[in-house]
Amino acid sequence: MAATRDVAFVDGVRTPFGKAGPKGIYAETRADDLIVKVIRELLRRHPGLPPERVDEVAVAATTQIGDQGLTIGRTAALLAGLPKSVPGFAIDRMCAGAMTAVTTTASGIAFGAYDVVIAGGVEHMGRHPMGEGVDPNPRIVADKLVDPTALVMGQTAENVHDRFPHLTKQRCDEYAARSQEKFADAVKTGKIGPELVPVAIRSTELGWGLATEDEPPRPGTTVETLATLKTPFRPHGRVTAGNAAGLNDGATGCVLAEVNTARELGLPVGMRLVGYSFAGVEPEVMGIGPVPATEQALSRFGLSISDIGLFEVNEAFAVQVLAFLDHFGIADDDPRVNPWGGAIACGHPLASSGVRLMTQLSRQFAERPDVRYGLTTMCIGIGMGGSVIWENPNWDGSK
Protein backbone atom coordinates (compact mmCIF):
# COMPACT_ATOMS: atom_id res chain seq x y z
CA MET A 1 0.00 0.00 0.00
CA ALA A 2 1.26 3.47 -0.85
CA ALA A 3 1.55 5.96 2.01
CA THR A 4 -0.82 8.91 1.96
CA ARG A 5 0.51 11.99 0.20
CA ASP A 6 0.44 15.69 1.18
CA VAL A 7 -2.25 17.82 -0.46
CA ALA A 8 -1.70 21.47 -1.38
CA PHE A 9 -4.37 24.13 -1.82
CA VAL A 10 -2.72 25.91 -4.74
CA ASP A 11 -5.01 28.89 -5.34
CA GLY A 12 -8.67 29.86 -5.35
CA VAL A 13 -10.76 32.40 -7.23
CA ARG A 14 -14.41 33.41 -7.28
CA THR A 15 -16.84 35.52 -9.20
CA PRO A 16 -18.15 38.64 -7.49
CA PHE A 17 -21.24 37.57 -5.54
CA GLY A 18 -24.58 38.98 -6.66
CA LYS A 19 -27.99 39.45 -5.08
CA ALA A 20 -30.48 36.78 -6.14
CA GLY A 21 -33.57 38.01 -7.95
CA PRO A 22 -34.67 39.89 -11.06
CA LYS A 23 -32.61 42.98 -10.16
CA GLY A 24 -29.41 41.13 -9.28
CA ILE A 25 -26.31 41.44 -11.45
CA TYR A 26 -26.57 37.82 -12.63
CA ALA A 27 -30.34 37.78 -13.26
CA GLU A 28 -29.74 37.04 -16.97
CA THR A 29 -26.48 35.09 -16.60
CA ARG A 30 -26.41 31.27 -16.61
CA ALA A 31 -25.11 29.41 -13.55
CA ASP A 32 -22.85 27.15 -15.63
CA ASP A 33 -21.26 30.20 -17.29
CA LEU A 34 -20.26 31.45 -13.82
CA ILE A 35 -18.37 28.27 -12.96
CA VAL A 36 -16.85 28.09 -16.46
CA LYS A 37 -15.44 31.59 -15.92
CA VAL A 38 -13.87 30.44 -12.64
CA ILE A 39 -12.24 27.36 -14.21
CA ARG A 40 -10.83 29.40 -17.09
CA GLU A 41 -9.45 31.98 -14.66
CA LEU A 42 -7.66 29.33 -12.59
CA LEU A 43 -5.96 28.03 -15.75
CA ARG A 44 -5.14 31.57 -16.92
CA ARG A 45 -3.49 32.43 -13.60
CA HIS A 46 -1.40 29.26 -13.62
CA PRO A 47 0.02 28.81 -17.12
CA GLY A 48 2.45 26.20 -15.77
CA LEU A 49 -0.50 23.85 -15.30
CA PRO A 50 -1.17 22.02 -18.59
CA PRO A 51 -4.95 21.48 -18.89
CA GLU A 52 -4.43 17.80 -19.61
CA ARG A 53 -2.77 17.40 -16.18
CA VAL A 54 -6.10 18.12 -14.45
CA ASP A 55 -7.32 14.71 -13.27
CA GLU A 56 -10.83 15.65 -12.07
CA VAL A 57 -13.28 18.54 -11.92
CA ALA A 58 -15.70 18.46 -8.96
CA VAL A 59 -18.40 21.13 -8.93
CA ALA A 60 -21.07 21.46 -6.26
CA ALA A 61 -24.58 22.88 -6.53
CA THR A 62 -27.37 22.57 -3.98
CA THR A 63 -30.21 22.76 -6.49
CA GLN A 64 -29.10 20.48 -9.33
CA ILE A 65 -31.63 21.50 -11.91
CA GLY A 66 -31.68 23.51 -15.15
CA ASP A 67 -28.35 25.26 -15.78
CA GLN A 68 -27.01 23.79 -12.51
CA GLY A 69 -27.82 20.21 -13.52
CA LEU A 70 -26.49 17.64 -16.00
CA THR A 71 -23.37 16.61 -14.01
CA ILE A 72 -22.15 20.19 -13.94
CA GLY A 73 -18.53 19.27 -13.13
CA ARG A 74 -18.24 17.46 -16.46
CA THR A 75 -20.22 19.92 -18.57
CA ALA A 76 -18.37 22.91 -17.06
CA ALA A 77 -15.03 21.23 -17.79
CA LEU A 78 -16.01 20.80 -21.43
CA LEU A 79 -17.34 24.37 -21.69
CA ALA A 80 -14.16 25.74 -20.08
CA GLY A 81 -12.06 24.14 -22.82
CA LEU A 82 -10.44 21.38 -20.79
CA PRO A 83 -9.51 18.32 -22.86
CA LYS A 84 -12.29 15.77 -23.27
CA SER A 85 -10.05 13.31 -21.40
CA VAL A 86 -10.63 15.28 -18.15
CA PRO A 87 -13.58 13.81 -16.20
CA GLY A 88 -15.91 15.68 -13.87
CA PHE A 89 -18.77 15.17 -11.46
CA ALA A 90 -21.39 17.07 -9.47
CA ILE A 91 -21.74 17.04 -5.70
CA ASP A 92 -24.38 18.16 -3.23
CA ARG A 93 -23.99 18.74 0.49
CA MET A 94 -26.20 21.82 0.72
CA CYS A 95 -24.08 24.82 1.87
CA ALA A 96 -20.94 22.69 2.19
CA GLY A 97 -20.96 21.55 -1.44
CA ALA A 98 -17.70 23.22 -2.45
CA MET A 99 -16.14 22.24 0.88
CA THR A 100 -17.06 18.61 0.15
CA ALA A 101 -15.80 18.91 -3.44
CA VAL A 102 -12.44 19.89 -1.92
CA THR A 103 -12.33 17.23 0.80
CA THR A 104 -13.47 14.45 -1.54
CA THR A 105 -10.95 15.19 -4.29
CA ALA A 106 -8.20 16.01 -1.77
CA SER A 107 -8.73 12.53 -0.33
CA GLY A 108 -8.25 11.18 -3.85
CA ILE A 109 -4.96 13.09 -4.12
CA ALA A 110 -3.81 11.79 -0.72
CA PHE A 111 -4.69 8.24 -1.77
CA GLY A 112 -2.90 8.53 -5.13
CA ALA A 113 -5.91 8.54 -7.45
CA TYR A 114 -5.26 12.11 -8.64
CA ASP A 115 -2.31 14.52 -8.83
CA VAL A 116 -4.18 17.75 -9.72
CA VAL A 117 -7.88 18.60 -9.44
CA ILE A 118 -10.18 21.58 -9.77
CA ALA A 119 -12.91 21.80 -7.12
CA GLY A 120 -15.56 24.42 -6.55
CA GLY A 121 -19.22 25.27 -6.41
CA VAL A 122 -21.91 27.44 -7.96
CA GLU A 123 -25.30 28.62 -6.79
CA HIS A 124 -27.70 30.80 -8.75
CA MET A 125 -30.37 31.30 -6.11
CA GLY A 126 -32.16 33.79 -8.33
CA ARG A 127 -32.81 31.13 -10.97
CA HIS A 128 -32.98 28.19 -8.58
CA PRO A 129 -34.22 28.92 -5.05
CA MET A 130 -33.14 26.33 -2.51
CA GLY A 131 -35.55 23.40 -2.69
CA GLU A 132 -36.85 24.14 -6.19
CA GLY A 133 -38.57 21.05 -7.56
CA VAL A 134 -37.86 18.86 -4.53
CA ASP A 135 -40.40 16.45 -3.07
CA PRO A 136 -39.43 15.69 0.55
CA ASN A 137 -40.76 12.34 1.74
CA PRO A 138 -43.75 13.13 3.97
CA ARG A 139 -42.51 10.57 6.50
CA ILE A 140 -39.66 12.93 7.43
CA VAL A 141 -42.21 15.06 9.28
CA ALA A 142 -45.05 12.54 9.77
CA ASP A 143 -42.78 10.05 11.56
CA LYS A 144 -41.32 12.92 13.57
CA LEU A 145 -37.81 12.23 12.26
CA VAL A 146 -37.23 15.99 12.30
CA ASP A 147 -39.06 19.03 13.57
CA PRO A 148 -41.08 20.72 10.78
CA THR A 149 -38.92 23.87 11.18
CA ALA A 150 -35.83 21.90 10.10
CA LEU A 151 -36.48 22.56 6.40
CA VAL A 152 -36.58 26.38 6.76
CA MET A 153 -33.07 27.65 7.49
CA GLY A 154 -34.20 30.93 9.08
CA GLN A 155 -36.40 29.02 11.49
CA THR A 156 -33.51 26.76 12.45
CA ALA A 157 -31.57 29.91 13.37
CA GLU A 158 -34.47 31.06 15.57
CA ASN A 159 -34.31 27.61 17.20
CA VAL A 160 -30.62 28.16 18.01
CA HIS A 161 -31.64 31.42 19.70
CA ASP A 162 -34.21 29.46 21.73
CA ARG A 163 -31.59 26.94 22.81
CA PHE A 164 -29.05 29.61 23.77
CA PRO A 165 -31.06 32.61 25.04
CA HIS A 166 -27.87 34.44 26.05
CA LEU A 167 -27.15 34.81 22.30
CA THR A 168 -29.33 37.90 22.10
CA LYS A 169 -30.45 39.76 18.99
CA GLN A 170 -28.31 42.68 20.21
CA ARG A 171 -25.17 40.50 20.17
CA CYS A 172 -26.07 39.20 16.71
CA ASP A 173 -26.61 42.72 15.37
CA GLU A 174 -23.30 43.87 16.85
CA TYR A 175 -21.56 40.90 15.23
CA ALA A 176 -23.24 41.64 11.88
CA ALA A 177 -22.26 45.31 11.91
CA ARG A 178 -18.64 44.29 12.63
CA SER A 179 -18.69 41.85 9.71
CA GLN A 180 -19.79 44.62 7.34
CA GLU A 181 -17.12 46.96 8.70
CA LYS A 182 -14.31 44.39 8.45
CA PHE A 183 -15.33 43.45 4.91
CA ALA A 184 -15.45 47.12 3.81
CA ASP A 185 -11.97 47.66 5.31
CA ALA A 186 -10.64 44.56 3.53
CA VAL A 187 -11.97 45.84 0.20
CA LYS A 188 -10.44 49.30 0.77
CA THR A 189 -7.03 47.86 1.65
CA GLY A 190 -7.01 45.44 -1.30
CA LYS A 191 -7.25 42.26 0.78
CA ILE A 192 -10.57 41.39 -0.91
CA GLY A 193 -10.45 41.84 -4.68
CA PRO A 194 -7.39 40.02 -6.06
CA GLU A 195 -9.29 36.70 -5.94
CA LEU A 196 -12.23 38.04 -7.96
CA VAL A 197 -12.64 37.24 -11.65
CA PRO A 198 -14.64 39.86 -13.59
CA VAL A 199 -17.75 38.44 -15.26
CA ALA A 200 -19.43 39.84 -18.38
CA ILE A 201 -23.12 40.30 -17.57
CA ARG A 202 -26.15 41.09 -19.68
CA SER A 203 -29.38 42.88 -18.92
CA THR A 204 -32.28 43.34 -21.33
CA GLU A 205 -32.82 46.76 -19.83
CA LEU A 206 -29.22 47.96 -19.39
CA GLY A 207 -27.30 46.03 -22.04
CA TRP A 208 -23.88 44.52 -21.42
CA GLY A 209 -21.81 45.18 -18.33
CA LEU A 210 -18.98 43.81 -16.20
CA ALA A 211 -19.37 42.50 -12.65
CA THR A 212 -16.19 43.42 -10.80
CA GLU A 213 -17.26 43.67 -7.15
CA ASP A 214 -19.66 42.02 -4.71
CA GLU A 215 -23.21 43.31 -4.79
CA PRO A 216 -24.50 42.38 -1.27
CA PRO A 217 -22.21 44.41 1.09
CA ARG A 218 -23.75 47.34 2.96
CA PRO A 219 -20.81 49.39 4.26
CA GLY A 220 -21.73 51.81 7.00
CA THR A 221 -24.30 49.44 8.52
CA THR A 222 -24.90 50.31 12.18
CA VAL A 223 -26.34 48.38 15.10
CA GLU A 224 -29.07 51.04 15.30
CA THR A 225 -30.14 50.40 11.69
CA LEU A 226 -30.09 46.63 12.21
CA ALA A 227 -32.30 46.95 15.30
CA THR A 228 -35.16 48.26 13.16
CA LEU A 229 -35.33 45.34 10.69
CA LYS A 230 -38.24 42.91 10.55
CA THR A 231 -37.98 39.33 11.80
CA PRO A 232 -39.50 37.37 8.90
CA PHE A 233 -39.25 33.89 10.41
CA ARG A 234 -41.12 34.58 13.65
CA PRO A 235 -43.09 37.47 15.17
CA HIS A 236 -40.78 39.25 17.62
CA GLY A 237 -37.99 36.95 16.49
CA ARG A 238 -34.27 37.64 16.43
CA VAL A 239 -33.16 36.65 12.91
CA THR A 240 -33.28 39.47 10.32
CA ALA A 241 -31.99 40.15 6.83
CA GLY A 242 -29.25 42.18 8.54
CA ASN A 243 -27.79 39.54 10.86
CA ALA A 244 -27.94 36.69 8.32
CA ALA A 245 -26.48 36.09 4.87
CA GLY A 246 -28.77 36.98 1.98
CA LEU A 247 -29.91 35.01 -1.06
CA ASN A 248 -27.04 35.16 -3.53
CA ASP A 249 -25.60 34.07 -6.88
CA GLY A 250 -21.95 33.22 -7.45
CA ALA A 251 -19.27 30.63 -8.14
CA THR A 252 -15.93 29.63 -6.62
CA GLY A 253 -13.14 27.29 -7.62
CA CYS A 254 -9.67 26.18 -6.59
CA VAL A 255 -6.77 24.07 -7.75
CA LEU A 256 -5.58 21.30 -5.42
CA ALA A 257 -2.44 19.30 -6.09
CA GLU A 258 -0.14 16.74 -4.54
CA VAL A 259 2.64 18.83 -2.99
CA ASN A 260 5.50 17.43 -5.10
CA THR A 261 3.41 17.74 -8.28
CA ALA A 262 2.73 21.38 -7.41
CA ARG A 263 6.48 22.00 -7.10
CA GLU A 264 7.17 20.15 -10.35
CA LEU A 265 4.66 22.38 -12.21
CA GLY A 266 5.82 25.58 -10.49
CA LEU A 267 2.48 26.00 -8.73
CA PRO A 268 2.30 27.86 -5.42
CA VAL A 269 1.40 26.04 -2.21
CA GLY A 270 -1.06 28.31 -0.45
CA MET A 271 -1.98 25.82 2.29
CA ARG A 272 -1.44 22.18 3.23
CA LEU A 273 -4.41 20.04 4.19
CA VAL A 274 -4.20 18.64 7.72
CA GLY A 275 -7.60 16.94 7.88
CA TYR A 276 -11.35 17.40 7.95
CA SER A 277 -14.52 16.19 9.59
CA PHE A 278 -18.26 16.32 8.92
CA ALA A 279 -20.78 15.76 11.72
CA GLY A 280 -24.53 15.51 12.03
CA VAL A 281 -26.73 17.37 14.53
CA GLU A 282 -30.49 17.73 15.03
CA PRO A 283 -31.70 19.25 11.74
CA GLU A 284 -33.85 21.83 13.54
CA VAL A 285 -30.68 23.42 15.04
CA MET A 286 -28.40 22.89 12.05
CA GLY A 287 -26.44 26.06 12.98
CA ILE A 288 -24.58 24.27 15.77
CA GLY A 289 -23.08 21.80 13.29
CA PRO A 290 -19.59 23.41 13.23
CA VAL A 291 -19.14 22.61 16.94
CA PRO A 292 -19.03 18.78 16.76
CA ALA A 293 -17.38 18.86 13.33
CA THR A 294 -14.54 20.99 14.73
CA GLU A 295 -14.22 18.90 17.90
CA GLN A 296 -13.96 15.73 15.79
CA ALA A 297 -11.40 17.24 13.41
CA LEU A 298 -9.21 18.58 16.24
CA SER A 299 -9.30 15.30 18.15
CA ARG A 300 -8.60 13.17 15.08
CA PHE A 301 -5.49 15.16 14.20
CA GLY A 302 -4.14 15.74 17.72
CA LEU A 303 -4.81 19.46 17.93
CA SER A 304 -6.71 21.74 20.31
CA ILE A 305 -8.70 24.88 19.62
CA SER A 306 -5.78 26.95 20.97
CA ASP A 307 -3.61 25.66 18.08
CA ILE A 308 -5.86 27.43 15.56
CA GLY A 309 -4.49 30.88 14.73
CA LEU A 310 -7.08 31.92 12.10
CA PHE A 311 -10.74 30.98 11.70
CA GLU A 312 -12.90 31.37 8.59
CA VAL A 313 -16.42 30.64 9.82
CA ASN A 314 -19.24 30.87 7.30
CA GLU A 315 -21.73 33.48 8.48
CA ALA A 316 -25.01 31.91 7.41
CA PHE A 317 -26.50 33.50 10.54
CA ALA A 318 -24.79 35.55 13.23
CA VAL A 319 -26.32 33.38 15.96
CA GLN A 320 -24.70 30.28 14.51
CA VAL A 321 -21.23 31.89 14.55
CA LEU A 322 -21.74 33.11 18.12
CA ALA A 323 -22.85 29.62 19.25
CA PHE A 324 -19.57 28.26 17.85
CA LEU A 325 -17.45 31.00 19.47
CA ASP A 326 -19.19 30.64 22.84
CA HIS A 327 -18.71 26.88 22.86
CA PHE A 328 -14.95 27.25 22.40
CA GLY A 329 -14.58 30.27 24.72
CA ILE A 330 -13.69 32.69 21.91
CA ALA A 331 -14.72 36.35 22.18
CA ASP A 332 -17.30 37.76 19.73
CA ASP A 333 -14.70 40.21 18.39
CA ASP A 334 -11.61 37.94 18.49
CA PRO A 335 -9.29 39.20 15.72
CA ARG A 336 -8.50 35.62 14.63
CA VAL A 337 -12.11 35.11 13.49
CA ASN A 338 -13.12 36.24 9.98
CA PRO A 339 -10.55 39.07 9.94
CA TRP A 340 -11.83 40.26 6.54
CA GLY A 341 -15.52 39.99 7.38
CA GLY A 342 -17.81 37.26 6.15
CA ALA A 343 -20.96 36.10 4.42
CA ILE A 344 -23.22 38.52 6.29
CA ALA A 345 -21.44 41.19 4.24
CA CYS A 346 -20.39 39.53 0.98
CA GLY A 347 -23.09 36.90 0.58
CA HIS A 348 -23.52 33.13 0.73
CA PRO A 349 -24.30 31.45 -2.62
CA LEU A 350 -24.88 28.13 -0.85
CA ALA A 351 -22.74 25.42 -2.45
CA SER A 352 -19.96 27.82 -3.47
CA SER A 353 -19.10 29.32 -0.06
CA GLY A 354 -16.68 26.69 1.25
CA VAL A 355 -14.01 27.59 -1.31
CA ARG A 356 -14.44 31.31 -0.55
CA LEU A 357 -13.50 30.55 3.06
CA MET A 358 -10.46 28.54 1.93
CA THR A 359 -9.31 31.15 -0.57
CA GLN A 360 -9.42 33.87 2.09
CA LEU A 361 -7.60 31.72 4.65
CA SER A 362 -4.88 30.93 2.13
CA ARG A 363 -4.38 34.62 1.39
CA GLN A 364 -4.27 35.40 5.12
CA PHE A 365 -1.67 32.67 5.67
CA ALA A 366 0.61 34.44 3.17
CA GLU A 367 0.60 37.52 5.45
CA ARG A 368 0.85 35.64 8.73
CA PRO A 369 4.01 33.50 9.12
CA ASP A 370 3.30 33.58 12.87
CA VAL A 371 0.19 31.38 12.36
CA ARG A 372 0.65 27.65 11.83
CA TYR A 373 -2.93 26.29 11.65
CA GLY A 374 -6.22 27.68 10.36
CA LEU A 375 -9.77 26.37 10.25
CA THR A 376 -12.56 26.70 7.68
CA THR A 377 -15.94 25.69 9.08
CA MET A 378 -19.62 26.00 8.22
CA CYS A 379 -23.08 24.84 9.24
CA ILE A 380 -24.98 22.74 6.70
CA GLY A 381 -28.69 22.43 6.00
CA ILE A 382 -30.59 19.38 7.26
CA GLY A 383 -28.42 19.28 10.37
CA MET A 384 -24.69 18.99 9.68
CA GLY A 385 -21.42 20.82 10.13
CA GLY A 386 -18.13 20.65 8.24
CA SER A 387 -14.63 21.67 9.39
CA VAL A 388 -11.32 21.57 7.52
CA ILE A 389 -7.95 22.19 9.21
CA TRP A 390 -5.13 23.70 7.14
CA GLU A 391 -1.42 24.28 7.80
CA ASN A 392 0.38 27.44 6.74
CA PRO A 393 3.42 26.61 4.54
CA ASN A 394 4.81 30.07 5.41
CA TRP A 395 4.83 29.30 9.13
CA ASP A 396 8.05 30.37 10.78
CA GLY A 397 8.40 28.27 13.90
CA SER A 398 10.93 30.66 15.42
CA LYS A 399 8.28 33.37 15.94
**Is 112 within 8 Å of 3 (Cβ atoms)?**
no
CA nearest to 24, candidates 157, 178, 215 = 215
Given 46, 95, 124, 161, the catalytic residue: 95
**Is 321 within 8 Å of 313 (Cβ atoms)?**
yes
> In angstroms, rounded to a whole number, what is the distance separating the alpha carbons of residues 291 and 298?
11
Kindly state whether residue 213 falls inside one of the protein's structural domains: no
Please report the pLDDT score of residue 239 as a whole number.
98
Active site residue 379: yes
Q: How much is the average pLDDT of 166-190? A: 98
Kindly state whether residue 201 falls inside one of the protein's structural domains: no
- DSSP readout, 204-260? TTTEEEEE-S-SS--TT--HHHHHTS--TTSTT-S--SSSB---EEEEEEEEEEEHH
Kindly state whether residue 194 falls inside one of the protein's structural domains: no
> In angstroms, rounded to a whole number, what is the distance separating the alpha carbons of residues 171 and 318?
9
pLDDT at 175 > cutoff 80 = yes
Kindly state whether residue 396 falls inside one of the protein's structural domains: no
Task: Give the model's confidence band at 1: pLDDT under 50 very low, under 70 low, under 90 confident, else very high.
Answer: low
Kindly state whether residue 38 falls inside one of the protein's structural domains: yes
pLDDT at 3 > cutoff 90 = no
Please report the pLDDT score of residue 322 as a whole number.
98
Q: Mean of the per-residue pLDDT values for the chain?
A: 97
CB-based contacts of 124, cutoff 8 Å, min separation 6: 20, 26, 29, 30, 31, 34, 67, 68, 249, 349
Please report the pLDDT score of residue 223 as a whole number.
98
> In angstroms, rounded to a whole number, what is the distance separating the alpha carbons of residues 206 and 202?
8
pLDDT tens-digit readout, 285-324: 999 999 999 999 999 999 999 999 999 999 999 999 999 9
Q: What share of the chain is helix, strand, coil (3-state, %, to 5)?
A: 35, 20, 40
Its domain, for residue 346, covers 7-128+245-390
The pTM (predicted TM-score) of the whole model is: 0.97
pLDDT tens-digit readout, 189-222: 999 999 999 999 999 998 999 999 999 999 999 9
Kindly state whether residue 100 falls inside one of the protein's structural domains: yes
CB-based contacts of 115, cutoff 8 Å, min separation 6: 53, 55, 109, 257, 258, 261
> In angstroms, rounded to a whole number, what is the distance separating the alpha carbons of residues 186 and 180?
10
Please report the pLDDT score of residue 254 as a whole number.
99
Please report the pLDDT score of residue 141 as a whole number.
85
Active site residue 348: yes
Domain count, the chain: 1
Given 172, 254, 346, 379, the catalytic residue: 379
**How many Å is the Cα radius of gyration of the chain?**
20
Q: How much is the average pLDDT of 227-251? A: 97
361 backbone dihedrals φ, ψ, rounded to 5°: -60, -40
The domain that holds 253 is classified in CATH as: 3.40.47.10
pLDDT at 398 > cutoff 90 = no
Active site residue 124: no
Kindly state whether residue 232 falls inside one of the protein's structural domains: no
pLDDT at 399 > cutoff 70 = no
Q: How much is the average pLDDT of 357-370? A: 98
pLDDT tens-digit readout, 129-165: 998 999 989 998 899 899 999 989 999 999 999 999 9
Please report the pLDDT score of residue 294 as a whole number.
98
Kindly state whether residue 102 falls inside one of the protein's structural domains: yes
> In angstroms, rounded to a whole number, what is the distance separating the alpha carbons of residues 393 and 399?
14
Please report the pLDDT score of residue 242 as a whole number.
98
Task: Give the model's confidence band at 397: pLDDT under 50 very low, under 70 low, under 90 confident, else very high.
Answer: confident
